[in-house]
Amino acid sequence: MKKNVIKEYFFIFLGTFCMAAATNIFFESNNLVTGGITGLSIVIQFLGTKFFNFPVPLWLTTIVLNIPLLILGMRINGFKFILRTIISIIFLSTMLALTKNFKVDELDLTISAIYGGFLTGIGIGLVFRNNSTTGGTDLAANIIKSKYKQFPVALIMFSIDACIIATGFVTFGAANAMYAIIAEFITSRVLDMMLEGFLFSKSVFIISERTNEIADKILNQMNRGVTSLIGRGMYTKKEKDILFCVMNNKEVFNLKIMIKEIDPNAFIIVTDAHEVLGSGFRELEV
């Protein structure tokens, strides 16, 4: 258990490093406000420089803005629930301070949006996969959800991020805001892949009058498991077997050829399976 905890905190640390590097290299230097506390920190830093000649450090704003959220979160869910979030915020703020001089010259907005969004998605994914958050939008959404239970957390998070991006639109203009939306979209897609898995497989449902022969070929020639489900055709009112199996793209192609030879009239449904864990695929882990 101790080794697992150390491993989890290492990946949380790595995730916050990715987020901080993306913020300093791609977002802050190009005034891209992508939502969340770090996005709001970029706006505050710019306004502080413009009106008071004092660029408020991103790491400082991240801590200060998260403090009231942490206090409310502890009052609602308890200290144990919020502990990992506190550690993640400390990691993130530290990484923002250490990577503040990470700059790459002559990056245009397109490259910054793509690579910044990609790196941020990886960072958030690493944090989420190890049972933590970096506070900010996630924590605020959970606090609001505790009071207004009729609103979904996803909708609350979207609304908060939309307001922050709108702040970036007012501060830096329409072009930067549009590129920030691209970066936010890429972040969400990469995050989905981090949480659901990068190795995509296919789920296959087969309805045929010759299911026994097809199942035998799948088991013995393709070396894949197959499960028989009982279904009933609502038109004929007859029960029939429905075969279900999971395989990769290349195997699906071979499967269709094999089924056509056995039963050209078979009905086949192929769907995406984002993450397959267990025998014959990736080891079961979370």
Residues 174, 238: one domain? no
Quick count: other Cβ atoms within 10 Å of Cβ 261?
11
Q: Are residues 210 and 71 in the same domain?
A: no
Grade residue 156 by pLDDT with cuts at 50, 70 and 90: confident
Q: Is 99 part of any domain?
A: yes
Instruction: Report the pLDDT averaged over residues 15-27.
Output: 94
- What was the pLDDT predicted at 2? 75
Residues 94, 162 within the same domain? yes
One domain for residues 33 and 96: yes
In a domain, 280, yes or no: no
170 and 212 part of one domain: no
Instruction: Say which amino acid occupies 219.
Output: L
Question: Which of 157, 174, 196 is at the close of a domain?
Answer: 196
Q: What are phi and psi of 230, to 5 degrees?
A: -95, 125
- Could you tell me if 187 and 128 lie in one domain? yes
Average pLDDT, whole number, for the chain?
A: 87
Q: What is the CATH number of the domain that holds 246?
A: 3.30.70.120
Whether residue 190 sits in one domain with residue 206? no
Task: For residue range 39-82, list pLDDT tens digits in order.
Answer: 999 999 999 998 988 889 999 999 999 999 899 888 877 777 78
Residues 181 and 131 in one domain: yes
Does pTM surpass 0.85? Answer: no
Q: What is the pLDDT of residue 27?
A: 94
Q: Give 283's pLDDT tier (boundaries 50, 70, 90).
A: low
Q: How many domains does the chain have?
A: 2
* Structural domain contains residue 54: yes
Is residue 7 one of the residues assigned to a domain?
yes
Instruction: Give the pLDDT mean for 159-168.
Output: 91
Strand ranges of the sheet holding 227-232, from the earlier edge strand across to the other edge? 227-232, 239-247, 201-207, 267-273
Domain check: are 109 and 14 in the same one?
yes
Q: Kindly tell me if the per-residue pLDDT of 115 is higher than 90.
A: yes
Span 111-117, average pLDDT: 94
257 burial level (CB within 10 Å; 0-12, 13-18, 19+): exposed
Question: What tokens appear for 240 in the block?
Answer: 């029939």
